[in-house]
Amino acid sequence: MGRARVIASPAVRLRRAGCRLIFGREMDAANAAHWATQWASPRRVEGDQWDQVRECVTDARQASPFYQARLDGLGVDQDLTRDAFRRIPPLSRQDVISSWTAIRSRHGGTGALGRRSGGSSGQSVVIPMDRATYCWYVAGTRRGLQWWGVDLTDRGAIILGAGAGGLRSLAVRAKDSVLNWLRQPVDERFDQRAPDVLDRLERFGPAFVYGYPSAVHRLARVIDGRPWRPKRPTKVIVLTGEPVYPYQRRGIERAFHCPVVEEYGNGELGSMAFQCTEGALHITVENVFLESVPLEPPVGGTGGRVLATQLRNRLFPLIRYETGDVGVVGAEPCRCGRGLPTIQVLGRTEEVLMGSDGAALARPSVERFLGAVPRSLQGRVQVVHPAPGRLVLRIERDRDLREDLREPTAVAEGVFGRGWQIEAAAVDRLPRLRSGKLPYFLRTAAP
C-alpha cells in the first residue's frame, strides 16, 4: 500500500474546513501526528509511547486526588520504570463510578465534552474530556479510514447508538450535517426498520458505513432478498462496538460488495486499534497504551486481560483501565510496513463457559457455533449460559421460514461437545441493549 494521501475534491476540502471549525486547530496536529507515527520504526514507536505514559502518570499524580492516593508508596516517580508501572493497580469501571469526582484532574480543559461507555457489561459511565482530547479520538478513526481510500469527511452512514435527545441531539445533527453523514440510530425497533434504513442508505450513497456488526449484518440479511443499488458505490464498511464474527463479515461483504474491516475501541478510550489492508489490528499508539496481563482466575485458552492507559485525556486520567476484553498484544512486523504494534481480541472477561472440563473463554466455541448454523439462522440465534453445563439457544422466529429447532440444537451439540445440556427456544425477537448492541452470548437466567 502506498503512503500518499487521498487527493480530496473541492467539496471534501470545504467539509474538512468545517471539520476544523467544529474540532479546532488541534485536529490538524492530531491528524499529522497519526499519519507520521505509523511509518516510524517499532523501536521509535515504543520509545515515544513510553515517554507519553510517563507524562500521563506524572500529571495524574500531581493533579488527581484519586491517583495521589493510589500511587503513594508504589515507587512511582518521574523516571517511571516498567516494573513500577506494573505495580499500579488496574482501574475498574466500578472504581470510575465510585471515585468519579476524585479521579477528575484539577488540571486539563473545560470538560465541555463527554464520552459515554456502551454499558454492554454493566452500568455505563461518562468520561469528561476537553475538545483537544476528542480530536485525538477522532484522528485515530480518520487514519484508519484513509487506509481504505476514504476520509472522515466523505459521505458516511453511521449505524450505531440509540440516538440522543435535547441539546446533544442538536449538536450531533449539526456535526453530521457538516461532515456529510447520515446517522441511523440503532434502537429496539431497528431490526424491524431495517428495510427502510436500507432504502435511505441507497438514496444517500455512502462512501463508507460505520456501525455495529449486528446492525449492519441485519441490513445485509435484507439485501439477501433484494438487489443492493446505492446511488454511489460504497468503498468500505467499518464494524465497531461489538465482536465481529466471521459469518457477519462474509455476509456483509457478500451483500454490499466491498471490504469489511474492524475498529477496536470504546466510549471511554476512543479508537484503540484499526484493521489495515493486510488484516492486522494496529494499535492507535497516539491515544492509548495497551498491555495484556494474566487472567484472574485463570481461564482455559490464550491471552490475558487487556488494560488501557489513555494518553491524551488529562482531565480524567484512565491508567491501566480494565477494558473487559481478553487479548494478545504483539509487536510482530506487518506486511503493510507500519511500525504500529497489533492486538488480537479473543473475547470478554465475563464471557466464560463453565463446563465439566472447567472454565474456558466462550468466544471461540460460540464463534464456531454461530458460523455453523444454517445461513438462514445466522444473526437470529443467541446463546444463553444460565448455569454450569447448560446452554439455551434463543432462536428468533421468521414468518417466512418454518422453525426447526432440532437442527441448531444438533449443531450446538457437535460444537460444544458432550456433557452439555442444550435446549432451544423460539422467541419473537432478540432484544437489543439500551445502547443498541445485540450480544450473541449471554451469561444470565434462562427464559
Query: What SS3 string covers 69-107?
Result: HHHCCCCCCCCCCHHHHHCCCCECHHHHHHCHHHHCCCC
* Whether 313 contacts 127, CB under 8 Å: yes
Q: What is the CATH number of the domain that holds 146?
A: 3.40.50.12780
Q: Give the strand pairing for 421-427 and 352-355.
A: unpaired
* Whether 327 contacts 344, CB under 8 Å: yes
Q: In the prediction, which pLDDT does 112 show?
A: 52
Which helix H or strand E contains 412, and what residues bound it? helix 406-416
Q: Is the pLDDT of residue 369 over 50?
A: yes
Q: Across the beta sheet with 421-427, what order do the strands follow?
A: 421-427, 390-396, 381-387, 441-442
pLDDT band of 332, cuts 50, 70, 90: confident
Q: In the prediction, which pLDDT does 115 show?
A: 59
Range of the domain at 358: 352-442
Phi, psi torsion values for 265, nearest 5 degrees:
-170, 180
In angstroms, the CA 96 to CA 329 distance is 24
Q: Is the pLDDT of residue 432 over 70?
A: yes
Q: Is the pLDDT of residue 122 over 90?
A: no
Q: Within this chain, do residues 139 and 105 fall inside the same structural domain, yes or no? A: yes
Q: Within this chain, do residues 255 and 402 fall inside the same structural domain, yes or no? A: no
* Whether 395 contacts 381, CB under 8 Å: yes
Q: Is the pLDDT of residue 121 over 60?
A: no
Sheet strands (E) in 316-427: 321-330, 342-348, 352-355, 358-361, 381-387, 390-396, 421-427
* Whether 278 contacts 147, CB under 8 Å: no
160 or 300: whose pLDDT is higher?
160
Q: In the prediction, which pLDDT does 447 show?
A: 42
Q: Which three cell numbers stand for residue 329?
A: 498484544
Q: Within this chain, do residues 266 and 372 fall inside the same structural domain, yes or no? A: no
Query: Is residue 250 a part of any domain in this protein?
Result: yes
Q: In the prediction, which pLDDT does 1 show?
A: 45
Q: 3-state SS of the chain: helix, strand, coil percent to 5?
A: 35, 25, 40
Q: Within this chain, do residues 149 and 298 fall inside the same structural domain, yes or no? A: yes
Over pLDDT 70: what percentage of the chain? 88
- Smallest CA-to-CA distance from 41 within 331, 292, 287, 281 is with 331
Q: Which three cell numbers stand for residue 341?
A: 504494534
Q: Within this chain, do residues 298 and 362 fall inside the same structural domain, yes or no? A: no
Query: Is residue 377 a part of any domain in this protein?
Result: yes
Q: Give the strand pairing for 358-361 and 352-355.
A: antiparallel
430 torsion bin: left (phi>0), alpha (psi -120 to 50), beta (else): beta
Please compute the mean of the pLDDT values over residues 365-379 and round it to a whole number: 95
Write the DSSP string, 285-325. Answer: TTTEEEEEE--SS--BSS-EEEEEEESS-SSS---SEEEEE
Average pLDDT score over the chain: 88
Q: Within this chain, do residues 332 and 365 fall inside the same structural domain, yes or no? A: no
Query: Is residue 109 a part of any domain in this protein?
Result: yes
* Whether 205 contacts 155, CB under 8 Å: yes
Q: Is the pLDDT of residue 358 over 70?
A: yes
Query: Is residue 433 a part of any domain in this protein?
Result: yes
Q: Within this chain, do residues 340 and 357 fall inside the same structural domain, yes or no? A: no
Q: What is the CATH number of the domain that holds 383?
A: 3.30.300.30
Burial of 414 (0-12, 13-18, 19+ CB in 10 A): exposed
Please compute the mean of the pLDDT values over residues 231-236 and round it to a whole number: 94
Q: Is the pLDDT of residue 179 over 90?
A: no
319 or 406: whose pLDDT is higher?
319
| Structural domain ending residue among the three candidates 325, 348, 371 | 348
Please compute the mean of the pLDDT values over residues 171-181 and round it to a whole number: 82
* Whether 306 contacts 325, CB under 8 Å: yes
Please compute the mean of the pLDDT values over residues 90-104 and round it to a whole number: 94
| Structural domain ending residue among the three candidates 315, 348, 381 | 348
| Structural domain ending residue among the three candidates 326, 348, 370 | 348
Q: Which of 103-107, 115-119, 292-296, 421-425 has the lowest mean pLDDT?
A: 115-119
Q: Is the pLDDT of residue 124 over 80?
A: no
Q: Within this chain, do residues 211 and 337 fall inside the same structural domain, yes or no? A: yes
Q: Give the strand pairing for 236-239 and 208-211.
A: parallel
Q: Within this chain, do residues 334 and 365 fall inside the same structural domain, yes or no? A: no
Please compute the mean of the pLDDT values over residues 160-181 and round it to a whole number: 75
Distance of CA 14 to the CA centre of its chain: 29
Q: In the prediction, which pLDDT does 164 show?
A: 59
pLDDT digits over 242-254, tens only?
Answer: 999 999 999 999 9
Please compute the mean of the pLDDT values over residues 187-215 and round it to a whole number: 96
Q: Is the pLDDT of residue 6 over 60?
A: no
Q: In the prediction, which pLDDT does 306 show?
A: 97
Q: Which of 32-36, 64-68, 165-169, 320-324 has the lowest mean pLDDT?
A: 165-169
Q: In the prediction, which pLDDT does 4 show?
A: 47
Q: In the prediction, which pLDDT does 32 show?
A: 92
Query: Is residue 2 a part of any domain in this protein?
Result: no
* Whether 316 contacts 97, CB under 8 Å: no
Q: Within this chain, do residues 338 and 422 fall inside the same structural domain, yes or no? A: no
Torsion of CA 149, 237, 351, 67, to 10 degrees: 50
Q: Is the pLDDT of residue 410 over 60?
A: yes
Query: Is residue 4 a part of any domain in this protein?
Result: no
Q: How many CB atoms lie within 10 A of CB 177?
A: 11
Query: Is residue 3 a part of any domain in this protein?
Result: no
Over pLDDT 90: what percentage of the chain? 68
In angstroms, the CA 196 to CA 204 distance is 13
Query: Is residue 170 a part of any domain in this protein?
Result: yes
305 or 356: whose pLDDT is higher?
305
* Whether 299 contacts 352, CB under 8 Å: yes
pLDDT band of 28, cuts 50, 70, 90: confident
Q: Within this chain, do residues 40 and 111 fall inside the same structural domain, yes or no? A: yes
Q: Is the pLDDT of residue 292 over 90?
A: yes
Number of domains in the chain: 2
Q: In the prediction, which pLDDT does 303 show?
A: 87
Beta bridge partners of 304: 327
Q: In the prediction, which pLDDT does 3 show?
A: 47
Q: Within this chain, do residues 60 and 151 fall inside the same structural domain, yes or no? A: yes
